[in-house]
Chains A and B, each alone.
Chain A
């Protein structure tokens, strides 16, 4: 199991050091600094073995988190734990930065004592942790409160405490998708997938039981065959169902129920959380198409023309559009002309950045640029990185639709109808690249 956990700043100074096992000595702290943080070359692996000691590290801005062990630990678990550690810290004091870590080092030690025992990760749900790890001390607790805390930390529903009350029961549901594309210069889709998340904010009283439904092909086909839905239901939903390649769920979702019935039921954590993640690869709506044209004119000039076409309902508006056209390292000057938005050559980033605030569906826009090159005797050819794009659209490129979200709370007297529900779809670009 994990033998020790260290946090360093960008210089390699230790901010936090907690050793759980005897086989990890103080010299491990220095070994990582010397061999990884101060190493001259780029990091070649997130797992490093130095003198029979293994170091796992992740970086958040310029903070290094390193877990150390001498045993054959579950590597995936160690990384999941390090991410979790970052999440917990962020939930307590915001951004994981050197300043915040120094300001909260006592708290961090306290957290590390609680969520990692002898190197074994323990309950690390912030909801539960915040009930008893605070910087105010827990002197005033009654006996009932204490046992409530422990039963929540160890209980089956570790993510929600009893007795939550809201005057207004409300639910916010965001379908956030990032659409990824790799396209050849000729416009052939090399790979495309959507990775989506369903993020919820729930402000519900008591211990509500929720059921979430979407236009999952498997569910809808099954319902269609079983004759449960009527003709009308079939014709409206039959075609619009989507094939989900795979999905993963928050630990509140009953996985065995999903496995057997494919229904998503759960008792939600309070506040904001990620209910599920999913991935689709079929019938993806690609919101934009990028058509590049690069021409080398002699050895000292490049002509670039890029056309972007929006491909969705004209009534919808895409926002925050940004096209990034890479330029060679020996660029000496660039002239750009674009029909819409603003374009700038950024020498430090070796790219022309073209920004458009808004763009409606079924439109097209164009940029052309002349790039002057310095003559070089470098034999190596320019690698021609792909043209990448960023945007945000108000629909789900996968075609996912929320069909229902039902809330049942038998003990308190509010019903599904009393809950105010909000649903929102946002599609963003993930890695959206076209080779040129």
Chain B
């Protein structure tokens, strides 16, 4: 550290100006010198020495060796020196806990000092010394300070409770500090109230269910009064706390809003944003036809716009939040487009965010202005920004239909600039425009083709290839163009390879005569020479399709594609709701829930917007007489699926029965086509039956020998499903209870239903056997569930495609989702089901093993397990006995693993094996278990710990069922 040596000479400025001399180089023996100085009799010298020590500490040098000497300087009436010593203590006490005790006496004494500043200083510092032994001594002084006559001491003590809680939560509870802290909410001094609120909020966060803050109309009133009087920071604490409150009705909600709105004029942006959070949240409860509701909407716009004249960092935070607000309530800022125009010297992070919001606000009314701006931006310097601007033009075209033509011509202008990355970005978005407005703008293809050579990014190449394939019949030299890409096939990225394969197959189907050679070439490249399983599989599918049934191939490959949706990259609604509850915080900046970036238990709590009161909730009774289609979870605003999903869809396309979402299946009876493809087609290939279709020529017959191997190889996910038709199932090792009769025929006019539940490859399935014991044919089956504890709901309609004749039986498996409405049932795993057919509606209830809700990623980290185990109060622990079980611990562990009960650690104590296990339920509840197995004893003991102890009984039943089967 050579800096500031020279400053030593500046003595003439007086001692105050020359603190930087303490930052001088370390010499050998410096520690020794310092030691001597610290023990000097002269006060000034002592102080100088402590300053040097602090400076060394700052730059990261280890000066812990001086601990006793520095602590010796503590007893002084010089406040400046005292503060320095305290600073040192806070840093090193933890590394020298025994020595730190030496300081305790001084602290205790200082807490009784006549000067309130010293009392506060002592209690503040003590809380920062994280040494258990000191903590014990802290309790008494802290108790006194919490009731000190001076508000300055009280406000400091309030924060100290939070500090202590962080070190030793149990101690804080035992000593009753929480109650004292709650009392401080009624303190006469607003700053004490604010700090007490801050401390309680923090403590409450680590006890999600403790109801510590116990917000009720009286306490809310106190907070709102303090809000008017305390510092800007205090206002933030109070507003953030208010945001967690759920008013009882719309009237209370309105009255709180009225008292919060003046905060929108505060100079501190954080106060404004926190007020916006409270208003956005409570607004949910106001009836929309209320005058006040529209007044409030109007009041929100100006402060949000004002935030944009703050410093750039705050603008960034504001813009990230406005992005959320615009998605939730677009009406607030719809007339404010202009303020989001980018300024030339905005920092890049502000520019990018503004651009995002501009697109969200774009509408027919302002599109001309927006486009003019975007065109301007596309000529800027920053590459990311330019790309985003180009992309934005494409998004405008898709969003505002009337502007599409203008957008396309703007994009063409940009392509003419020949700036490489502009051209590539433009081509990517033009592909999307083609998908939104098919057969409308093909005239531009010629221009695009001119730029073929300059494309070097995979995404742009893939987009271009897609365009050529899609419009192959109108491009005379499409085959040449695609062939040119084929030369370097193996050097292309997967994205391009897949696109090229599809495009050439499309071309072949459109112009079969000239392109046979090309298609053979690409199929063999994809299947024989590639080691990418996705590519190979897609190659094989095409190959078989083409060789068995070219007509079907045409219908599959050239099927009409669904139009892409208007709004891309919207935040998923439930996440958006949660983020609205976190306005102003980091979560709103990252656009991620806190659990995604906060460690430990703090982030677990999910915040929700309150429900509007008065609006008729759906009825409680199993009102399922209506058509089954209605039971599907509400269709979320469609979002363009990512690449992975698309691939998944592609593979599921042929297998899955028609679902409400996803691309429409080919029109030829899908059962036939789909089954044949994988059954017959496969057999014929394996059997060497080279029944190539006449159009194909013999070339296709030579099926490569590697194929069977690759097909039999275990493939996960979507590919797994491919071979998992109609619930045949791959052995997953999960426990599946035997089928039992749920609905006897007598009760259901001849329909008998039996079934069970299973979890296969991460999908919960209800497996049903429907038997018609009546005399007439049954048709039009549908199923619906009543609300239940874990939100189980059918993920699709019940697939009974053919009428069920008398004495016929059909096996159906119904995939279930866990996103349905939730209501606690008794017993917890009870499920009420309604089944409808052409005759009547029938109700029955059944119980599912909770094990099917155990998710695959339920394996907890060891550390987290330990911390969580400790964190869950002992009251939540329950113990059970499992009798007559003859497995050893390893066998039990592996058996349980099959049902997603994961063993995290094993310990053997005195011949007794202790297995520690974790389970995660589909709704995010964790269950921790300790299983004790004694050799030679067939009785197991199991202890379960969970934040929601209600589930323990069900979990225990699962253990029993799994271990005994």
Contact = CB atoms under 8 A, between A and B. Distances in A.
Interface of A: 1, 9, 13-17, 19-23, 26, 29, 42-47, 49, 52, 54, 56-58, 69-77, 79-83, 98-99, 102-107, 109-110, 113, 117-118, 120-125, 132, 135, 137-139, 141, 143, 146-147, 149-151, 153-156, 158, 182, 184, 190-191, 193, 195, 245-251, 254-256, 258-259, 274, 276-277, 279, 379-381, 383-386, 388, 431, 433, 435
B127 A123 contact: no
B834 to A, nearest CB: 42
Given A14-B59, A156-B229, A255-B228, A139 B78 contact: yes
B191 A123 contact: yes
B268 interface: yes
B192 to A, nearest CB: 7
Contact of B17 (A77, A103, A105, A137): A103
A120 to B, nearest CB: 5
Contacts of B259: 256
A52 B309 contact: no
25 contacts: A14-B58, A22-B130, A46-B313, A47-B590, A57-B313, A80-B268, A102-B4, A103-B19, A105-B22, A109-B54, A109-B87, A113-B83, A120-B159, A120-B233, A121-B233, A122-B191, A135-B80, A138-B117, A154-B155, A184-B372, A246-B305, A246-B306, A251-B266, A255-B263, A277-B309
Given A76-B584, A191-B341, A248-B266, A106 B19 contact: yes
Interface in B77-118: 77-80, 83-84, 86-87, 91, 114-117
Interface stretch (B529-537, B593-601, B623-631, B650-658): B593-601
Interface in B583-606: 584-590, 594, 597-599, 602-603
Nearest to B316: A46
A14 B58 CA distance: 7
Contact of B316 (A13, A47, A279): A47
A29 B190 contact: no
A143 B149 CA distance: 14
A190 B419 contact: no
A84 B768 CA distance: 66
User: Closest 4 A-B residue pairs measured CB to CB?
Assistant: A246-B302, A102-B20, A150-B152, A76-B270
A77 B270 contact: yes
A259 B233 contact: no
Nearest to B58: A17
Given A70-B598, A191-B341, A135 B267 contact: no
Contacts of A117: 124, 156, 159, 195
Contacts of B198: 1, 120
Nearest to A245: B302
Interface of B: 1, 3-4, 7, 16-20, 22-23, 51, 54-55, 58-60, 77-80, 83-84, 86-87, 91, 114-117, 120, 124, 127-128, 130, 150-153, 155-156, 159-160, 162-163, 166, 189-192, 195, 198, 202, 228-233, 236-237, 240, 259, 261-263, 265-270, 272-274, 302-303, 305-306, 309, 311-314, 316-318, 338-339, 341, 343-345, 347-349, 369, 372-373, 376, 379-381, 417-420, 582, 584-590, 594, 597-599, 602-603
Contacts of B309: 195, 277, 279
Nearest to B337: A191
A248 B267 contact: yes
A143 B114 contact: yes
Contacts of B598: 52, 70-72
Contacts, number: 299
A121 B233 CA distance: 6
A250 B267 contact: yes
Contacts of A106: 19, 51, 54, 80, 84
Contacts of B311: 58, 79, 83
A72 B19 contact: no
Contact of A251 (B86, B231, B588): B231
B590 A49 contact: yes
A233 B58 CA distance: 64
Contact of B317 (A13, A75, A386): A75
A103 B19 CA distance: 4
Nearest to A122: B233
A141 B115 contact: yes
Given A79-B311, A106-B84, A47 B58 contact: no
A249 B348 CA distance: 29
Nearest to B301: A246
A76 B155 contact: no
Nearest to B261: A259
B265 A76 contact: no
Nearest to B321: A76
A380 to B, nearest CB: 6
Nearest to B420: A379
A431 B507 CA distance: 55
Contacts of B347: 43
Contact of B597 (A9, A49, A385, A386): A49
B58 A120 contact: no
A46 B231 CA distance: 26
B116, B117, B265 — most chain A CB neighbours (10 Å): B265
B7, B18, B51, B376 — most chain A CB neighbours (10 Å): B376
Given A46-B349, A79-B317, A52 B117 contact: no
Given A77-B236, A103-B18, A248-B265, A256 B155 contact: no
Nearest to A246: B302
A80, A102, A141, A386 — most chain B CB neighbours (10 Å): A80
Given A76-B273, A79-B311, A435 B17 contact: no
A19 B130 CA distance: 13
A256 B224 CA distance: 11
Contacts of A433: 343-344
Contacts of A250: 267
Given A52-B597, A431-B343, A435-B376, A255 B266 contact: yes
Contact of A76 (B124, B127, B269): B269
A79 B272 CA distance: 13
Contacts of B274: 74, 76-77
B277 to A, nearest CB: 9
Nearest to A141: B115
A386 B19 contact: no
B58, B155, B369 — most chain A CB neighbours (10 Å): B58
A382 to B, nearest CB: 9
B418 A149 contact: no
Contacts of A47: 316-317, 586, 589-590
Contacts of B128: 20, 118
A124 B231 CA distance: 9
B232 A251 contact: yes
B603 A72 contact: yes
A248 B232 CA distance: 13
